[in-house]
Structure 1
Amino acid sequence: MSLTWDELELVQPLAAKVLKNSILRNRVAHAYLFEGERGLNKKEVSLLFAKSLFCLDLINNINPCEQCSNCKRINSSSHPDVHLLEPEGLSIKKEQIKNLQQEFSKSGVESKKKLYMIVHSDKMTTNAANSLLKFLEEPNVQTTAILITEQIQQILPTILSRCQVVSFKPLSLDFLQERLLKDGISPTIAPLLAHLTNDPYEAMELYQDEWFAQARKIVLKLYEVLKKGSLFAMVELQEDWYNHFKEKSQIDQGLDLLLFIYKDLLTLQIGRDKQLTYPDQRTQFEGDMLQFSPLNLAEKMSLILEAKRKLQGNMNPQLLMEQLVLKLQGGSTFV
């Protein structure tokens, strides 16, 4: 189902206002840069923007009808004057930009308007970025470019200066949780998923993934055995953790799941019990929280964050987990 302006105004009011005004006032910029973290529907917004520019039967001068030939072709990626460019492999190559540049030089097939979307524009090679810069400097009057990025700091300043930056803000936890519940995600899991990702679609994928369900169980079990002693925790690492968390991204997610347990304990201590990421563990955590001081819980969370940093620094994952387990267990300070 296509994104609508009304939906966008609910989740990204500022971005919606900027883009709607540019269309309604006939002040569409030559180039926009949509920036913000993953999962904020930036690509879908660029398609909505394109349909509002090309629709043959606009509703209230802004809403695409979704029924005309232009709307249908944009939805199916087959409109001759609307082009989408994405990385080939790990990067966007100079040749891709040159081909796009050739399209820029032509007039529109069906009208004078043309629109280009470049997804992951931060992944352009230096040569590709320099090629793009050349025709951003001399834009065709009827041509609009939309660059999309999650890493605005990777965009050349010279390109940035030629774009109108539209920032997409992370969804609030409350809004995202409500969205996940409406999508049919269990109230037990929705808070955890809302902390792990800002992308409702990725949240649904995780919810339906048996690997993730098992990961949650293993992390909760590791937490339980940590209370018994480091030897029990080492055995748990050997029996379950190493077999399940193999890729770096999986280990990183496992560390997040562990971090949220200690965050919940601290949350309960300060009386914010409605913000639990593991609501089904409330009774257990309420008993456990009395065993730790707030300072000790903060220290444990810092240890896990440190482990996440070391993981990105290519430390041996097995050694990293063994060291973390020893530090977490040895650092327990009972009140």
Structure 2
Amino acid sequence: MSSWMDIKELQPLVAQMLTNSFKKDRVSHAYLFQGDRGTGKREMSTLFAKSIFCKEREEAEPCQECRDCKRIDSGNHPDLHWVSPSGQSIKKEQILELQKEFTYTGLESNRKVYIIVDADRMTANAANRLLKFLEEPSQQTTAMLLTENSQSILDTIRSRCQLLAFQPLNPERVEQQLEAQGVSTSNAKILASLTNNLKEAEELNDDDWFANVRKLVIQLIGVLLNKPNEGLLFINHQWMPHFKERQQLQIGLDVLMLWFHDLINQYLDRQQAIIFQQEKEKRDQAVLRWSRQSAAQSLSLILEAKRKINQNVHPTLVMEQLTLQLQR
């Protein structure tokens, strides 16, 4: 995201609060960015750092062309320090090294900024060391702590930060973002319905495994409509070999739910809400097979199957039972 205008479309409240801090010359010494993965925390922290260092900015908007802006983009700004988990956690030694860096005079200016990614993954020793760092803030230092789980961060650390809550992205916005990146409209609709996490949607779209999920769901519907006696055979020989992990099976069931949601939307004449737009012929056929009430019941059956998967019931048994239930 190259500008505050861009990021305001995704996180209007947070962006407004941060840009106001420049207009009022009240940049805090520490911020805690709380929000799900893919909601723009890292992008906003980078843009905020640019606004702090850029000598050519207009109000809060960095120029994007100066030496400071370009060095931040390349990850080479000497007064901007990133800290990320080393292995499974952020360790005390990493915070000590950060503190050591901050004892030196800024190379480009008197300002220094540090950004801690996945701050909830600090060890107890690292968190206590950071707390001491935050207790003696310099007016020339700005900290940004990024987390998906602020409750796992020490209360004493949270109390010293300005908390900014990043909201889940609007599904329509996720769909638009995906289409802007070249994702087909049909795939963008499915991905935006599965997750409002843009990064997660992008990862699914790039995954060859996910590319076959939609195809298998349509094939399963075709079997249930035209060859119900082959349902269990399909589950054992085509469905289960593709969904080898429980989390993968959950995604498959989520896409199957989207199909039955489409069926209900067909009954309600909500054409714009339909995800599988290209499957009209099969959907018209399905209307003759499942009533609106039985389609709603099918959604309940799929939700029950998802609960059983979470309860470690054998996945194949869960899918076999669900298939028999959907055939009735």
Q: TM-score, normalised by structure 2?
A: 0.90
Q: 1:93-172, aligned counterparts within 5 Å?
A: 93-172=91-170
Q: How does 1:216-255 map to 2 (within 5 A)?
A: 216-227=214-225, 232-255=230-253
For 2:291 and 2:134, locate their aligned partners in 1 and report how far apart those are by CA, in whole Å: 57
Whole-Å Cα distance in 2 between the matches of residues 154 and 310 of structure 1?
Answer: 29
Unaligned 5+ residue runs, structure 2?
none
**2:281 counterpart residue number:** 283
CA distance in 2, matches of 1:56, 1:267: 54
Give the 5 Å matches for 1:1-335. Answer: 2-58=1-57, 60-227=58-225, 232-329=230-327, 332=328
Q: Which amino acid aligns with 2:161?
A: C
1:220 Cα deviation from its structure 2 partner: 1.6
CA distance in 2, matches of 1:246, 1:304: 18
After TM superposition, give the deviation of residue 191 of structure 1 in Å: 0.8
Q: CA deviation at 1:48?
A: 0.4
Superposed displacement of residue 260, structure 1: 1.0
Question: Mean alpha-carbon deviation: is it higher for 264-273 or for 7-16?
Answer: 264-273
Which secondary structure state, in structure 1, belongs to the residue aligned with residue 88 of structure 2? coil
Aligned-partner residue type, residue 249 of structure 1: Q
Q: Deviations over 1:104-157 (max 9, x none)?
A: 444433322111111122222333323322322322222111111222333333
Q: What is the CA RMSD across the aligned residues, in angstroms? A: 2.4
Decide whether the 8 Å contact of 2:36 with 2:197 is kept in 1. no
Amino acid at match of 1:213: A
> In structure 1, how many angstroms separate the alpha carbons of the residues matched to 2:41 and 2:239?
36
Q: For residues 30-56 of structure 1, what are the alpha-carbon distances to aligned partners after superposition, in whole Å with 9 as ceiling and x for unaligned?
A: 211112222122101100000000012
Q: Is the 8 A contact 2:35 2:165 kept in 1?
A: yes
Mapped partners of 2:228, 2:11: distance in 1: 47
Q: Is the 8 A contact 1:39 1:197 kept in 2?
A: no
Return closer, same or farther for 1:229/1:283 CA change in 2, 3 Å cut-off: closer
Distance change (3 Å), C-alpha of 1:156 and 1:15: same
Q: Could you say if the C-alpha distance between residues 91 and 230 of structure 1 is closer, same or farther in structure 2, counting changes exceeding 3 Å?
A: farther
The 1:303–1:152 alpha-carbon spacing in structure 2 relative to 1, beyond 3 Å, is: farther
Give the Cα separation in 1 of the matches to 2:232 and 2:60: 60
1:121 and 1:168 map into 2 onto residues whose CA distance is 15
Q: Is 1:121–1:149's contact at 8 Å kept on the other side of the alignment?
A: yes
Inter-CA distance 313–72: structure 2 relative to 1 (3 Å threshold): farther
How far is 1:10 from its partner? 1.8
User: How much identity, in percent, do the aligned residues show?
Assistant: 46
Change (3 A) 1:276 1:67: same
1:320–1:274 CA distance, 2 compared to 1 (3 A): same
Cα deviation for residue 288 of structure 1 reads: 1.7
2-structure distance, mates of 1:247, 1:26:
51
How far, CA to CA, are the matches of 2:136 and 2:291 in structure 1? 62
Q: Secondary structure at the match of 1:115?
A: strand
Letter in 2 for 1:13: P
- Quick one: which amino acid aligns to residue 147 of structure 1? L
Give SS of 1:66's match: coil
CA distance 1:120–1:328, change in 2 (3 Å): farther
Amino acid at match of 1:34: F
What secondary structure does 1:92 align onto? coil
- Relative to structure 2, which stretch is displaced further, 260-269 or 289-298? 289-298
Q: Which digits, 9 at most, give the CA deviation of each residue in 1:158-211, with x for residues without a partner?
A: 322222111222222222223333332222222111112334454344334432
Q: SS of the residue aligned with 1:33? A: strand
What are the superposed Cα offsets for residues 271-306 of structure 1, whole Å, 9 maximum, x if unpaired? 322111211123322342354344433333233233
Residue identity matched to 2:126: A
Distance 1:128 1:315 in 2: 40
